[in-house]
Amino acid sequence: EVRLLRPSNSLWIRRLTRCTIVAVPLPGAIYVTECTDCTFVMGARQVRLHTSTGCDFYLHVSSHPIIERCDGLRFAPYPTLPAPLTGAVAAAGLDPSRNEWRQVDDFDWLKAQQSPHWSILPEPDRHAAFDFCATAGEPPAADLPPSCPPSPAAEGAAEGAAEGAAEGGTITVTVLFFAAAREEAETSRASLQLDAGSDTDALRALLAQRYPDLQPLLARCALARNAEYVQSSEQLRDGDEVAVIPPVSGG
């Protein structure tokens, strides 16, 4: 079980199996990708779930949750917070009276009928409460057992730094395509090389060149670099992950 009790602007969760993540609400977006048999307790302005299976989500979210290439997901409302955290939803800039947790948009199911990829978590199966207390005495990284390896993001950054140093003039950036961007690019993921010192504007230009069908949509897409929205041109580093996120209608 992982407890995230200090809110950040946004959160990116990737490649977890049989984990429970309990987090206080945050003002930005949450991305969950490649997770299996996990439980997530989270609040955010926007939640996007990608390529995940058999997970339960307890959400407080201001817009419709979005799922892509997922199966066996179940949804329930965010639990009542303990007394010290009762104001956490409002403190994150979320409306406590507005929760769109059950208005799930499945980008792989456009029919009027209920998507087979998600369902409402039955009340008898829901957890009555979650532990939001901080854990004391957490071991330093050096003391972690072999069953707790470094995160894939940390490994990817380290490998990317080594590759960049060896090549001497290029960096490697992983691009994740969501929703309509994925359809236009005809892929969900790409590994691109850019000149060292390139920024997000250079990445946009390369994407437009590499994926011509994506170009009309690209100007309206947001970029999230390592789970943080890019507000202006930002320099890229070796091993960065950049999400290409189309605008959400009605959210």
Q: Given a cut of 70, is residue 177 above it in pLDDT?
A: yes
Helices marked H in 109-178 — which ranges?
152-167
Residue 140: predicted pLDDT: 41
pLDDT band, very low/low/confident/very high, at 154 (cuts 50, 70, 90): very low
- Pair of tokens at residue 240: 């960065």
pTM value > 0.85: no
Provide the CA 211 distance to its chain's centre, in angstroms: 23
Which domains can be identified in the chain, with CATH numbers? Answer: 2-125 (2.160.20.70), 152-245 (3.10.20.30)
Helices marked H in the chain — which ranges?
88-91, 152-167, 179-185, 200-210, 215-218
